[in-house]
Copies of this chain bind each other. A is one copy, B any other.
Amino acid sequence: MDRWQALTDVPVYPHLVGLAQKPFDLTSPGALAPTRIEQYCCSAAGFDLLYAAQRVNDEVLARLQELADQCELVKQFQQMRRGAIMNRIHGFASEERQVLHTACRDLFAENPAEPVATGQAEREIAKLRDFLEDLENDTLTNAHGRPFDTMIHVGIGGSDLGPRSVYEALRAYVRPGRQVFFVSNVDPDDAAAVLRRVNLDTTLVNVVSKSGTTLETLTNESLIRGAFEAQGLDPAQHCIAVTGEGSPMDSPAGYLRSFYMFDYIGGRYSSTSMVGAVMLGFALGIEAVLEFLEGASLMDQAAEESELQQNLPLLLALLGVWNHTFLGNATVAVLPYSQALHRFSAHLQQCDMESNGKSVSRYGESVALKTGPILWGEPGTNGQHAFFQLLHQGTEIVPVEFIGFRHSQYEEDLEIEGSTSQQKLVANLLAQSLAMAMGQKDENPNRRFPGNRPNLILLADRLTPKIMGGLLALYEAKIVFQGFCWNINSFDQEGVQLGKVLAGRVLALMGDGQEEGGADLSPEMALVKMVKMGRE
């Protein structure tokens, strides 16, 4: 294909529009037959995707396969993994970069898809291994020879949300005596709250910024360095860096060690690069890092399968396209039935919405159809006592992606009224899926459930480092496939620039800077006036 097509120009598009007029009715008698539940299951890399509760039938699935084929989705994914310049807007100034987050976990095959990037990843992992061994052997200690037991991870956006959600997810496996805190917000209370909780004497600060110039991160780093100095400690003996080679932060004078990130990996796709791996290695050890990467790598391979119903990431992506583009639902909720995944939806929210919240195609044309949905979510069962009311009986239809595990992490469980907590957790997940799909009639109109609320279940045995790697890679691939399908560039973020420019202008006005008053006041100055007016 010389030129990727708009979704509306793909031959199968009108057929899917037609089918969407009368989607599969999940509330009809026998709709959720056992054969449907068994057959609408796709497995890969330790996950089962159960999608019987989607509003699809075999005909829709066949058309979605045609969509995948006509858009050459798998081929594009393969090209991406092999180093094609996918981060670009043809005909306009753009980032013009490869997209190779998959390369930094492509460590387990004899022939990696893109050997140069994988070679670079291997060198960084070797550096990480040395660093962790030096900590272990007390070769690298604080000034008094005491081992470091705490890490403050300083980043924002992609350098924060992914690593943070992974740490929270795998907290059960953290090495005894080690702990990690995260600081991201430019809000000074964020750093202050963390600084009150740690013993700086045995704390490493891991500063993560590709450019070495991110305003929030540098501000927080300065705040934290100041705290070390206030205690008579030398911050350079406590800081390490994850940054681009040659950036202002790539400096032995300021940092004990530097690990590199590369411009072919976007921040929101960087959890399996050094951005996540340094923190994870400190907390869990190098073996867990390798398991994490292996899980991600297995899922990347699964995404190259050409059959839709055998390709778990592609299937997840196209069911999402069906719900959003064809059935017209504005949002998607990701609801993990696992407290450990309590920050995973926030990470996905970033990864998905920053990638696919776009309005122009890869050729700079305005898109005719809606692109990325609004993604949100909180862990179940908590949500059942919260916003699930709207999911069941509200007027907005929210497609739901449940995530569940057969076993808990700690295995500290108790049988109460004949079942364990983990069994109750899984039972609730299944029950919610069925309730949303099938609904319920009632004579009391306030107790009616309309049903036909599409949902699916992602199921794995246990949330281990390997499974967490797979889960991250699964959603990364989903997002990429959907971006290909909507024919947008999922890898840039021009939409964050205007705010940065205006923030600089406002900041100048907030200090001593004064504009003339009266009717000529700029909106910036008028707003600043409102803020200053109320000052205590």
State the CA gap A276–B432 with chains docked (Å).
29
Residue A44 interfacial (CB < 8 Å): no
Residue A381 interfacial (CB < 8 Å): yes
The contact string, 1 if C-beta is below 8 Å from chain B, for chain A 149-180, is 00000001110110000000001100000000
State the CA gap A420–B444 with chains docked (Å).
58
A525 proximity list for chain B (CB < 8 A): 34
Residue A419 interfacial (CB < 8 Å): yes
Residue A102 interfacial (CB < 8 Å): no
The contact string, 1 if C-beta is below 8 Å from chain B, for chain A 491-504, is 01111111111111
Near B by CB (< 8 A), chain A positions 90-109 give 92-94
Residue A413 interfacial (CB < 8 Å): yes
A534 proximity list for chain B (CB < 8 A): 48, 406, 459, 461
Interface of A is mostly: helix
Residue A131 interfacial (CB < 8 Å): no
A505 proximity list for chain B (CB < 8 A): 431
State the CA gap A461–B282 with chains docked (Å).
40
Residue A215 interfacial (CB < 8 Å): yes
A222 proximity list for chain B (CB < 8 A): 414, 416
Q: Is the CB of A188 within 8 A of B422?
A: yes
Q: Is the CB of B393 within 8 A of A359?
A: yes
A413 proximity list for chain B (CB < 8 A): 188, 223
Q: Is the CB of B421 within 8 A of A350?
A: no
Q: How far is the CB of A420 from chain B (nearest CB, A)?
A: 7
A416 proximity list for chain B (CB < 8 A): 218-219, 222
Partner-contacting stretch, out of A137-145, A257-265, A303-311, A365-373: A365-373
Partner-contacting stretch, out of A239-247, A288-296, A445-453, A477-485: A445-453
Interface size on A, residues (CB 8 A): 161
Assess A431 versus B499: contact at CB under 8 Å? Given A330-B396, A353-B394.
Answer: yes
Residue A476 interfacial (CB < 8 Å): no
Residue A86 interfacial (CB < 8 Å): no
Residue A391 interfacial (CB < 8 Å): yes
Near B by CB (< 8 A), chain A positions 421-438 give 421-428, 430-435, 438
Name 15 interchain pairs, CB-CB below 8 A, sorted by A: A32-B523, A34-B529, A37-B527, A172-B193, A190-B339, A219-B421, A346-B378, A374-B376, A389-B493, A392-B499, A393-B494, A423-B510, A427-B503, A434-B523, A459-B534
Given A172-B193, A346-B378, A372-B394, 9 new contacts (CB under 8 A): A33-B526, A37-B526, A50-B527, A160-B385, A171-B193, A185-B380, A186-B428, A222-B416, A365-B445
